[in-house]
Amino acid sequence: MDEKESIKTEANSVFRPHRSMSGVLRWMLVVLLAFGLGALLVAFTLYFPTRQKLDKAITDLGTANASITSQTDQIKTLQTGNETLQKDLDAVSLQMYVLKALSGVRGASLAVVANDYAGARLSLIQASEALNTLSGLPDTSQKDVFTAMQQNATQALTDVQTSNLKSAQPELDQLTKNLTQLEANLSTNNP
């Protein structure tokens, strides 16, 4: 029986490494399965919800960009309209001050005819203030014309202050003519 025992011992020793390999393989399979389940658990609990949030954020960003583009276009439209309205306002302001100066000059002419020193002086001061405002307006292409008119108004005011009402009349006539022509030009340019 020694032979049988030695064969069994040899057979047992041959099968033992295979059994220990089988145990190691089982444990490795269990560890791999645990890692795989852990990876799936991480993917389902972290990756997929984060990916969904990212997709939603990208969609929201696209919507926000479209809204910004739309509002930028709207702002440009409003700015263009504002610039147009500002030009119209400037033109109307220019015409208003021309009419105010014309009113003052005509009032001074009437006061000169009536020999009203105080009325002529007051009307010329009003006309001078309007001419000063006109020459100070931005984007006025006729500053030199307004300067010449201011000089005429100053001369007429000087004549009135020296109690020489009749000598102021030629200056007032020239101012009336210039302001009437300017007002007519503004009316045709800005209907």
pTM over 0.75: no
Q: What is the pLDDT of residue 2?
A: 59
Helix (H, G, I), strand (E, B) or coil at 57: helix
Give me the tens of pLDDT residue by residue for the chain, a chain 191 residues long. Answer: 555 555 555 555 555 556 667 778 888 888 888 888 888 888 788 888 888 888 899 999 999 999 999 999 999 999 999 999 998 888 888 889 889 999 999 998 898 888 888 888 898 899 888 888 887 776 556 677 777 888 888 888 888 888 777 888 888 888 889 888 888 887 777 65
Reported as a single tens digit per residue, the pLDDT across 140-185 is: 566 777 778 888 888 888 888 887 778 888 888 888 898 888 888 8
- DSSP-derived letter for residue 140 is -
Percent of the chain scoring above 70 in pLDDT: 85
Q: How many beta carbons lie within 10 A of that of residue 13, not counting itself?
A: 9
Q: Classify residue 164 as left (phi > 0), alpha (psi -120 to 50) or beta.
A: beta
Amino acid (one-letter) located at 104: G
Q: What is the pLDDT of residue 7?
A: 58
- The structure tokens listed for 35 are 């890692």
Q: What is the pLDDT of residue 12?
A: 53
Task: Find out whether 168 and 120 touch, Cβ atoms under 8 Å.
Answer: yes
Q: How many beta carbons lie within 10 A of that of residue 63, not counting itself?
A: 10
Task: Find out whether 109 and 173 touch, Cβ atoms under 8 Å.
Answer: yes
Task: Find out whether 119 and 111 touch, Cβ atoms under 8 Å.
Answer: yes
Residues across the chain: 191
Domain boundaries 80-189, corresponding CATH code: 1.20.120.660
- How distant, in Å, are the alpha carbons of 25, 27, 32 from that of 13? 19, 22, 29
Q: What is the pLDDT of residue 172?
A: 87
